[in-house]
Amino acid sequence: MRFSPLLLALALGGACATAVAAPAPAPADWSARERKQLVQYEVALAAPESRWLEVVMTVERPRGRRSDVALPAWIPGSYLVRDFARNLDGIEVTDLAGVSLPVERLDKQTWRIGHGGKSFRARYRVWADEPGVRTSVVDDSHATLNGTGLFLYLVGETSRPAELRFVGLPANWTVHAALPQPTPGTLRASSYDVLVDSPLELGTPVVHAWDEGGTRVELVFSAPGGSNADTERLARELKPVVHAFAEAMGGLPTSRYVFLMLADEKGDGGLEHADSTLMRVPRDMFQDESGYRRALHLASHEFFHLWNAKRLRDAALVPYDYAREDYSQLLWFHEGFTETVENQILVRAGATSPDEFLRELATAWTAYLQKPGRNHVPLTQASVEAWVKQYKPSPGHFTTTISYYEKGHLAGVCLDLELRLRSRGKGSLLGVFRRLMASHGARGKGITFEDIVAAASAEAGSDVRDFFRRYIEGTDELPLPAQLARMGVDVEIRAPSAGESSPLAARRKQGWTGIVFTDNAIRSVAPGSPAELAGLLPGDEVVAVAARRTRTGEEATERLMDHAPGQSVEVALFRGGRLLQRRLTIADDPRKAFRFAASPTPEPAVRELRDAWLAGPTK
């Protein structure tokens, strides 16, 4: 895994009083009080190739006569119940002398231990065979571990400090995480929340480290199967991005930050953590410039979560409820606005030119306007529905919802432009984040919707509540083209395939079907489109067009585009094992493509406003 006048005092004073679990550093040694509360974990990798991790949890000072322990159902930052307990096997509990203690399973992820007030040890195994940024994997070459799937927690006692020790590591393996490591293989966390907010990479990665204003920054690159990445180049290009963030936000809010990057056969993005990120990229994607750009975009997005989502955290997610879904209405802010800042910072760092920035923005706007569900529900509702519609949507949801990443990003651009236009360049989206950090993040307070509105209004110098009412809580079309015109940016509307040179692109100028394919099956059908009128459905497997066999969605699209608007074509498909024939009439493409470019002759005041937006040092 990147936004009546209200006074600044309101922005600073209207905070939710709930405290965020701050990622406080663990001490060099535990105090007597901390040692009494300490929860110790030992992980054995005696045979990494077996995929099993042996875990021991030791609690020397339990409360009462019994304790409930549980494994999280989800990992913060990824809004899907993953039921990590399905990988746990054979929990056994004893006192420190080895005498068995009673343990009862209460539900799918919780156990009750009857210890009678004695110290106890819980031993169990975890199957680790799922590569990814949210899960864990171990084999004979390396291990990528996420604590939510490994470490039981004391229910109601996640504030206890924790110590983690690895045993049985292969001789040449090292342990990498943002947690303090006083001795090799031993790590400390000030709480369970901090422990599981620190992914770990074990093995023999390449490490590049540098200093940014007193903060140690590390790039830990692990490629067990090899990679065509130039890691020195990656680190070299990442340094100015980190510096640009530090400059824009007034420094880094941590003494150490770790980019963990795993390169293997597949990539599934990144996941943010308080002092680190875990990213997974295809190992051979660095064959040209585009691969390094993808890596920089991913790292930039995850790095801004250092502020947004980790230190600026929705009050509704404080504390995390690891046992069940934890709902937020602010994911458009935490993810969408992070994407907005991600793209802006890459311009400041010199990784993206202003012209490239505008081209990418036009591409995003064009794609967004082609989503039939873009204004179906408010962004606040899309955030709440993330658990079922972002991470495991039904086929029908592609026409009735929009990603809070995609629309949130464009809403963030619109808010940034609104603030700059209203304040004549004095306010910005980055200014909103700086205000919220001063009023909430630095004080460990969770944020609310109203806090965001207040900070934005203070930046604008006038009340911007109507913007949030229309575009965040409402479903009005985003005003991006009109705002860009006021910022000295030319907006050109053209045919969807204008500027493309491929034969298929040329044919696409002629017609439209409303079909989006996944492989050779239909993923979605646009409402009112020729495909819907012909009776095609999501999930249909198209096997022939005009009596010619098609093996992929791309082939089916090519055969359909052999026909001009107004022509009918026979489509053969399988639906539920039945072979069906449908006649589809190609239509003129109603969609539009956009091109954004800096106007060569704006008024001086407008030019100054635009140039500050595209490349200003602090705005």
- Number of other CB atoms surrounding residue 532 within 10 Å: 17
Among 556, 532, 553, CA closest to 544: 556
Task: Name beta bridge partners: 569.
Answer: 584
Q: Which two tokens stand for residue 392?
A: 């495991």
143-145 vs 200-203, strand pairing mode: antiparallel
CA distance 618 to 304: 15
Q: What is the pLDDT of residues 492-513, one digit of tens each?
A: 998 765 545 445 455 455 799 9
Tell me how far CA of residue 477 lies from CA of 397, 444, 468, 492, in angstroms: 19, 35, 12, 18
CA distance 438 to 253: 11
- Helices (H) then strands (E): counts for the chain: 18, 27
SS3 (DSSP) at 66? strand
Residue corresponding to tokens 């110590």: 163
Among 263, 258, 261, 272, CA closest to 177: 258
182 and 188 Cβ atoms separated by less than 8 Å = yes
Q: What is the pLDDT of residues 411-426, one digit of tens each?
A: 999 999 999 999 999 9
269-272 vs 88-95, strand pairing mode: unpaired
Q: Is the dihedral of CA 217, 307, 387, 191 positive or negative?
A: positive
276-282 vs 256-264, strand pairing mode: parallel
Q: For the ranges 280-284, 314-318, 517-521, 597-601, which has the lowest average pLDDT?
A: 517-521
557 and 515 Cβ atoms separated by less than 8 Å = yes
Backbone angles phi, psi at 46, to 5 degrees: -60, -35
Backbone angles phi, psi at 543, to 5 degrees: -115, -15
CA distance 137 to 131: 5
Task: Name beta bridge partners: 422.
Answer: none
CA distance 329 to 593: 31
* All residues at 6 or more sequence positions from 295 whose CB lies less than 8 Å from its CB, including other chains: 229, 234, 261, 279, 281, 285, 286
Q: Is the dihedral of CA 558, 559, 565, 571 positive or negative?
A: negative
pTM of the model: 0.90
pLDDT band at 217 (very low <50, low <70, confident <90, very high): very high
Residue corresponding to tokens 């990798």: 45
Backbone angles phi, psi at 403, to 5 degrees: -65, 135
Residue 368 confidence (pLDDT) = 96
Model confidence at 15: pLDDT above 90: no
Residue type, 588: D
Q: What is the pLDDT of residues 327-373, one digit of tens each?
A: 999 999 999 999 999 999 999 999 999 999 999 999 999 999 999 89
pLDDT band at 519 (very low <50, low <70, confident <90, very high): confident
